[in-house]
A and B are shown apart, each in its own frame.
Chain A
Amino acid sequence: MAARAIWKGTIRFGDVAVPVKLYSAVEERGVHLRLLHAKDGTPVKQVMVHPGTGEPVPHDQVRKGYDTGEGSIVILSDEELESLEPEASRDVEVTEFVEPRLIGYPWYDRPYYLGPDGNEAAYSALARALEAEGKEGVVRWTMRKKEYVGALRAEGGHLELITLHHASEIVDASTLPRPKGRAPEKQELQMAEQLVKALAGEFDVGAYRDEYREKVLELVEKKARGEALKLGPPKRRKAEAASLTDVLRASLERVKEERQVA
């Protein structure tokens, strides 16, 4: 069963041109809840109203504007907004290739898969070359009147494209101050390091299951059947009164015991 591609383009750098199709890599699975009017269970409607009259404004009369944050709004016409749109293009332009860690996790936004579009040989060659060189491409493209930046990666013979946030969309950790206060004791550091290493393992995303989703669906079934529900209040973990060193020592003991039992 082949999925439908959401877009088509051509990856370009140097004299390399690889035609590709884009597919969403994300499958939404959350439990979707709707807002309802409590009294009659009707799903609510969202409207934009004039604050003075409380009346909704018809869609074709709604205008758009930029709020300066200093008490004024600059109204922008549809024509002006259209003039801001980028030129349509099917090019996925690689601006450079870099070491993957230069990009780093805070930038990654949404993942897509790329599949070949006709030229399978070029597609496979690019995937192999990227894997062999161990690099990620920084790419720019325009899709549905929006400009994107992304990371082009190869994994298992396939190409992936992960969109990146714009610089203005993320808070830079280096702008925030480090917590003050006394540095941890050498002994505490040693024990903490031992502890995290004792808990070290492989990254295996399949090891985690969304149990909450299952519990909510069980809850829905019970309510639908008219069953009474037994609920506990959220248990707030109380902070221990023991010293940090004692707690670390006890943690290490517990990990050792769990290992012996297993």
Chain B
Amino acid sequence: MPETSPEAELRRHAFWSGTLTFGLVSIPVALFSAERPSRVALRLLAPDGTPLHRRYTCPAEDRSLEWEEIVRGYEVEPGKYVVLTEEELEGAEPEKSRDIDLRRFVPADRIDPLYFDRAYFLAPAGQSTRPYKLLADTMERTGLAGLGTFVMRSKEYIVAILAENGLLRAETLRFADEVRAPEALGLTEPRAPSEAEVEKIARAVRAATRKFLDMDVLKDRRAERLMRLVRRKLASGEDVVHLAGEGHEEEEEGGVVDLMELLKRSVEREAEPSEASEKASGGGRRRAGKR
């Protein structure tokens, strides 16, 4: 019988769920992407305008395959694969697949920007938000970020946990061997410039320095141009195809809005009544009807 608690709902929709620990403190969390797919990703269509669906086919049997007929494999020699099942992949590092252990804390602004990879939010997924809020408050006050490693979807990541606006973010970082050193690219120690050359440029830098960042520069201009074109064509009814009740293909990123709703519901959950007795987790009376 499936669980229907908000926490279970969260875990079902999350990219990953598990516990975040520091010292011996355990915080159940669910991880969601903080990146949206581009709003203006275009769909591929048939000549009659019908949206196409993605299918995987077997070239040998020349037919479409169901998801259950597909496995993943590693190419050991050209054309020769060793199959790895989900159980085997998850069993390769069982602890790391379910727990992020923050064993070191560093000042957040000391993390080299070259290493930032992808951004996620962590939602509290336990019955109590106390340990989550405790970590978030502490990190915001000390300016420290927690570092750890974990395995998600068959890949290991270094992760930096940071607090922002009372929420915990997870930023995956690249491993050292995933970022090239300048020397490896043949970029040798540049010739030392003259004082005069440096000062001339420094003056120009100062002249172009601003106190505030104009967020306008981060706008997606192509998306704006595309939307202008789309609105024009919609207004004139040109090249518009109406979909007759088509069920949208299940895309993994589909319904980013739904995930945000789940996240909002999760963080808006009221404190459990059992907190009066200082329990960190477990055994609280679930609030009936709270959605």
Contacts and interface: CB of A to CB of B under 8 A. Distances in A.
B58 A37 contact: yes
Contacts of A56: 55, 57
B9 interface: no
Interface string A158-198: 10101011111111011011111111100011001101110
Interface residues of B, number: 183
A124 B19 contact: no
A167 to B, nearest CB: 4
Interface string A228-249: 0101111111011111110110
Contacts of A127: 190
B191 interface: yes
Contacts of A233: 91, 94
B96 A212 contact: yes
Contacts of B209: 96-98, 133, 135
A34 B78 CA distance: 12
A212 B90 CA distance: 10
B25 A244 contact: yes
B288 interface: no
B165 A179 contact: no
A72 interface: yes
A177 B165 CA distance: 8
Given A108-B116, A176-B267, A182-B275, A199 B91 contact: no
B228 to A, nearest CB: 9
Given A199-B22, A254-B24, A168 B43 contact: no
Contacts of A239: 19, 26, 28, 126, 280-282
B85 to A, nearest CB: 10
Given A135-B209, A196-B139, A208-B158, A42 B202 contact: no
A2 interface: yes
B1 interface: no
A121 B93 contact: no
Contact of B47 (A57, A113, A213): A57
Given A202-B106, A220-B84, A57 B52 contact: yes
A58 to B, nearest CB: 10
A153 to B, nearest CB: 7
Contact of B280 (A45, A76, A147, A244): A244
Contact of B64 (A49, A86, A133, A236): A49
B36 A170 contact: yes
A132 B284 CA distance: 56
Interface string A28-56: 11111111111111111111111110101
B201 A173 contact: no
Contact of B233 (A74, A132, A184, A250): A74
Contacts of A216: 74, 84, 89, 92, 154
B182 interface: yes
B178 A26 contact: yes
Contacts of B69: 37-39
A165 B171 CA distance: 14
B121 A28 contact: no
Question: Which of A40, A44, A147, A193 counts the most B-chain CB atoms under 10 A from its CB?
Answer: A44
Interface string A63-91: 11111100111111100100111100000
12 contacts: A35-B72, A37-B69, A40-B61, A74-B240, A75-B241, A123-B190, A165-B35, A178-B165, A179-B167, A181-B270, A213-B156, A219-B88
Given A75-B240, A105-B119, A179-B129, 6 more contacts: A29-B175, A86-B221, A121-B197, A160-B114, A176-B165, A208-B147
